[in-house]
Amino acid sequence: MNVFRNLLGYLMAAALFAVAGAHWLSAWQGWADRFGEPAALLALVLSLGGGFNAFGIVGAYFYAADYLHWEALTAAGYGTIGLLFATKGTIAALWRILTAPDPKI
């Protein structure tokens, strides 16, 4: 029964990670359009190995600027969505916040 109590948190976490997936797909498209797929793959591997999501932040900016033809400030705003998923620690903290059990009083 405890699962149903935290169902809303789990649904919100799933929606947040769906946003992360869409953001990473747009980041891949941005890197691939600007520099080609080998450079996109290299940026992805370096970002995963480095532990900071520069791939998502910069790639989403490239996507918004080049593919969607948004202005620089708007494209930068779209890129900052990646800050939610910047490190493994922020992802773990978001997961704990959304799926935490009820406090014992």
Residue listed under structure tokens 């708007």: 74
Residue type, 42: L
Domain carrying residue 72: 17-99
Res 79 pLDDT > 70:
yes
In a domain, 1, yes or no: no
In a domain, 76, yes or no: yes
| C-alpha torsion sign, points 28, 31, 36, 37 | negative
Mark 43-64 as b/e (b = at least 16 C-beta within 10 Å): bbeebeeeeebebbbbbbbbbb
88: tokens are 């493994």
In a domain, 104, yes or no: no
Domain count along the chain: 1
Per residue in 21-66, pLDDT tens?
Answer: 888 899 999 999 999 999 999 998 988 888 788 888 899 999 999 9
* Predicted TM-score (pTM) of this structure: 0.78
In a domain, 3, yes or no: no
> What's the rounded Cα separation, in Å, for the pair 82 and 57?
5
> What's the rounded Cα separation, in Å, for the pair 48 and 25?
15
In a domain, 6, yes or no: no
In a domain, 7, yes or no: no
